[in-house]
Amino acid sequence: MGQRFGVLRMLCRSGVCGGPHSGRASFVLILVLSGVGILLGFSLTQWGRETPEVGPPSSIPGDRGRVRVEVLNGGGVAGVAWDATQALRDRGFDVVLYGNAGTYSDDPSVVMDRVGELETARSVADALGIPQLRSEPDSTLFVDVTVRLGPDWTGLQPMAEDDRESARWWNLRRFFH
């Protein structure tokens, strides 16, 4: 009992029980003790709880997602990169970059595999009607396929409206045939 009064005596001597700043000091003391109590309460409620095990993210076997394609105009013919981009997007490919190649040449159009999956590049080549196909993996590009259009690429005939609707990636009806 005497020890409890000793703590009170110590607090009173420090100015908490009286003096010009006793109200402010009492408020700060109550605030600090409340904060300590709240933290202690939270830590005790978490004690003994099991952390659920998180497994690896699920994936669909054989489905890599959408094919990321870059389309480059390497022949200098105005507008072909945009035309090829539209054609690929209409067929469900994800064209992430299109524009001019660093240099123009008379080389024929070519589709280049960048991730070591030649079949993916072949599907892009088939969609654009480009017969030349190469495998040149390059992990610094962050694309699956590069299309370099030469002056020989004249574009495609537009898809029929029914084909265009079924090819769009957001068209869920294609999954329920």
Give the integer Cα–Cα distance in Å for 7 and 94: 72
Domain boundaries, the chain: 2-41, 68-169
pLDDT tens-digit series, residues 102-123: 999 999 999 999 999 999 999 9
pLDDT score, position 59: 34
**Which CATH number is associated with domain 68-169?**
3.30.70.2390
With a CB cutoff of 8 Å and minimum separation 6, the contacts of 108 are 132, 150, 152
Alpha-carbon distances of 14 from 33, 74, 85, 141, rounded to whole Å = 17, 83, 78, 68
pLDDT tens-digit series, residues 41-82: 777 766 666 655 544 443 333 445 789 999 999 999 999 999
Cβ neighbours around 117 below 10 Å, total: 16
- Residue 3 scores a pLDDT above 50: yes
Buried b (16+ CB within 10 A) or exposed e, 134-145: eeeeeeebebbb
